[in-house]
Amino acid sequence: MRKTNEELEKLIMDRGIFTGEENRRIYEQSFKNWHGDHEYIYKRFGISQEEKMLEIGSAYGQNLIHFSKESIGIEVNNKLVDFSRSLGLKIISLNAEDDLSLITEKYDLIWCTDFLVHMVSPYKFLYDCRNLLKDRGRIVIQIPLMSMFETHRSSCHFYAFNKKSLLYLLEMAGYKIIKTSGLIRKKPRWFNYIFEPLLQIWGGNIWVLAEKEDKTPVNFKKVFLPKWFKA
């Protein structure tokens, strides 16, 4: 479950597959203080590290490493896959937009952060994720918010969302919105508590906790779906 900075540092320096310098950089930039920086969202969303989690876009495993041993990460970048596996994490190497149907188990929680805006087909992805969740299973989504300062723009972002448009997308994909947050990582807890309402509109990003519904509100008889989409 939760690991201390000291435990993480030792694990990465002992077992990381890269040079000592590169392992040190990965620890400092991705693992150090990760849990503390996200403790606010874990508590606000009622997330237990004992849950069986599927993390989509698990990167180096800096979040996955704090969850139960039943938890699995999905990652397409081979460098990140190899590093995560060297730490003893369970990683499936696949493209979530092509091969999500290859996952046969069901999970209590899907964690999907800094990911949705990189997808070509976010609706289909969210719709397909429902098949990987147990009854009343939950999904955590985090993305950058649309900003007047254009900070949401990137050469690798296909979409941009505000809070309302993201919640609508999730609802139409078959989820009930449970809680939202505007958490800014590495800010004191009191800062996020006080400015929570404003951060969800004017902040840098939006977090959403949603629960799987039995069905979607979409009438698929009234829409013309592409051949690759199976309702």
Q: Do the Cβ atoms of 120 and 97 come closer than 8 Å?
A: yes
Q: Do the Cβ atoms of 137 and 107 come closer than 8 Å?
A: yes
pLDDT of residue 120: 92
Assigned CATH for 5-222: 3.40.50.150
Q: Do the Cβ atoms of 87 and 12 come closer than 8 Å?
A: yes
Q: Which residue has the tokens 């069986």?
A: 52
pLDDT of residue 148: 64
Q: Which residue has the tokens 């597959």?
A: 17
Q: Which residues pair with 212 in a beta bridge?
A: 175
> Minimal CA–CA distance to 114: which of 58, 38, 182, 36?
58
CA distances from 28 to 31, 54, 72, 144 (A): 6, 24, 23, 23
pLDDT of the chain, 231 residues: tens digit per residue = 788 999 999 999 999 999 999 999 999 999 999 999 999 999 999 999 999 999 999 999 999 999 999 999 999 999 999 999 999 999 999 999 988 889 999 999 999 999 999 999 999 999 999 999 999 999 999 999 887 667 777 888 888 899 999 999 999 999 999 999 998 888 888 898 899 888 888 888 999 999 999 999 999 889 998 988 887
Q: Do the Cβ atoms of 112 and 95 come closer than 8 Å?
A: no
pLDDT of residue 208: 97
> Minimal CA–CA distance to 140: which of 231, 198, 65, 58?
58
Q: Do the Cβ atoms of 157 and 127 come closer than 8 Å?
A: no
pLDDT of residue 86: 97
Q: Which residue has the tokens 């009930």?
A: 176
The helix/strand/coil state of 225 is: coil
Pairwise CA distance, residues 90 & 64, whole Å: 9
| Domain boundaries defined on the chain | 5-222
Q: How many residues does the chain have?
A: 231
Please enumerate in sequence order all residues whose Cβ is within 8 A of that of 114, keeping only pairs 6 or more positions apart, or say none. Answer: 57, 142, 143
> Minimal CA–CA distance to 94: which of 131, 69, 58?
58
pLDDT of residue 57: 96
* DSSP characters over 88-146: T--EEE--HHHHGGG----EEEEEEES-GGG-S-HHHHHHHHGGGEEEEEEEEEEEEBP
pLDDT of residue 188: 85
